[in-house]
């Protein structure tokens, strides 16, 4: 099953689809400048979406029971439903310059919540390396191969996650607090998937114990393509925004939101642009220790 899509000028397939990786090295997504693969669980069953650049066109192919669902949403997953017409980068010269360089990056909207929620919870208050290790450990034990010609894992099924005792998460480097949050979310996965838009999803997510505004923002940014979702509470983003937009090497969430206010409606997009441009605040002191619960 295939579908032909028409991307905007200077469309950046690698960076656009790379936004689907909530944690580094997510094995359910593979994206390069010419093609991308994404494996997920759709309402119709497991499926894999393949996007390939060919000249000015983008060809979408899908595999598995969820193929029809994925093809219908292929343009959204590719970020082609991302409306940038209302984005004004002019309030700050740094943002204007980065938008000129990276205006081919689009925000994907997958329509799947639980898929992105698990790695987002694993990323709570830990290093990216620790979150990635935990997610890969889960996928090695709680998944099945995705349909299609490319070997890829599916994200874990909610019912299997809900039935997993917390102590099994220790071998994946995940302590009981995050394990319990993931399992609670798995029991509510069906209700979370019924969210109609980003605001509804954020309300449903933050009503669950252990899920705050940071985790909700990480999810809705990719599940609904929310260009305004800001990761309040992130250890690095507040410093990056303060440094890039005000020259201040350290910032607070309040200062970050103040600086982003001129871009309301696209505040999350600005944060993504700063990341794409490699703009990070200077770092001081030792890195956070990567812990291990493997022997608990």
pLDDT tens digits for range 16-46: 999 999 999 999 999 999 999 999 999 999 9
Residue 173: which CATH number?
1.10.340.30
Residue 290 has pLDDT above 80, yes or no: no
CA distance 99 to 106: 11
Q: Which of 84, 103, 121 is the endpoint of a domain?
A: 84
Instruction: For 232-273, give the secondary structure using H, E and C.
Output: CCCCCHHHHHHHHHHCCCCCCHHHHHHHHHHHCCCHHHHHHH
Predicted pLDDT of residue 291 = 57
Residue 82 tokens read as 């991302």
Residue 71: which CATH number?
3.30.310.20
| Total number of domains in the chain | 2
Q: 275 by DSSP, 3-state: which?
A: helix
Q: Are residues 131 and 239 in the same domain?
A: yes
Q: Which residue has the tokens 């002019």?
A: 90
Q: Are residues 36 and 145 in the same domain?
A: no
- Strand-pair partners of 30: 37
Q: Which of 84, 104, 129 is the endpoint of a domain?
A: 84
Q: Which of 84, 117, 135 is the endpoint of a domain?
A: 84
Q: Are residues 118 and 230 in the same domain?
A: yes
Note the pLDDT tens digit of each residue in 54-64: 888 999 999 99
Q: Are residues 75 and 101 in the same domain?
A: no
Residue 1 has pLDDT above 90, yes or no: no
Classify residue 225 by its DSSP letter. Answer: -
Note the pLDDT tens digit of each residue in 261-271: 999 999 999 99
Half-sphere exposure of 182 (CA within 13 A, CB side): 32
Residue 200 tokens read as 């509804």
Task: Judge residue 197's burial from the number of C-beta atoms within 10 Å of its C-beta, 0-12 exposed, 13-18 middle, 19 or more buried.
Answer: exposed
> Comparing C-alpha atoms, which of 252, 249, 247, 270 is closest to residue 260?
270
Q: How confident is the model at residue 231 (pLDDT cuts 50, 70, 90)?
A: very high
Q: Are residues 159 and 25 in the same domain?
A: no
Predicted pLDDT of residue 215 = 97
214, 245 Cβ separation under 8 angstroms: no
Q: Are residues 202 and 265 in the same domain?
A: yes
- Residue 116 lies in domain: 85-296
Predicted pLDDT of residue 292 = 59
């Amino acid at each position: 099953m295939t579908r032909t899509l028409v991307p905007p000028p200077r469309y950046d397939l690698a960076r656009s689809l790379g936004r689907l990786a909530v944690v580094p090295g997510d094995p359910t997504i593979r994206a390069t400048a010419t093609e991308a693969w994404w494996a997920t669980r759709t309402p119709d069953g497991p499926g894999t979406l393949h996007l390939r650049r060919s000249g000015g066109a983008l060809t979408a192919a899908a595999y598995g029971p969820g193929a029809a669902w994925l093809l219908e949403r292929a343009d959204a997953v590719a970020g082609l439903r991302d409306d940038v017409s209302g984005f004004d980068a002019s309030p700050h010269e740094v943002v204007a310059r980065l938008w000129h360089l990276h205006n081919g990056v689009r925000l994907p909207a997958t329509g799947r919540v639980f898929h992105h929620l698990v790695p987002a919870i694993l990323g709570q208050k830990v290093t990216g390396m620790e979150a990635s290790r935990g997610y890969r450990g889960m996928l090695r034990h709680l998944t099945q191969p995705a349909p299609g010609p490319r070997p890829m894992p599916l994200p874990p099924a909610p019912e299997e996650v809900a039935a997993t005792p917390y102590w099994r998460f220790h071998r994946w480097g995940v302590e009981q607090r995050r394990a319990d949050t993931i399992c609670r979310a798995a029991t509510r996965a069906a209700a979370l998937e019924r969210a109609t838009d980003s605001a509804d999803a954020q309300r449903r997510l933050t009503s669950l114990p252990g899920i705050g505004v940071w985790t909700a923002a990480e999810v809705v940014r990719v599940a609904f393509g929310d260009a305004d979702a800001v990761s309040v509470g992130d250890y690095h983003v507040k410093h990056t925004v303060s440094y890039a937009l005000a020259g201040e090497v350290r910032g607070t969430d309040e200062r970050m939101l103040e600086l982003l206010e001129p871009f309301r409606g696209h505040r999350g997009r600005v944060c993504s642009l700063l990341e794409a441009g490699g703009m990070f605040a200077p770092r001081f002191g030792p890195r956070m220790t990567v812990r291990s619960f493997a022997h608990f």
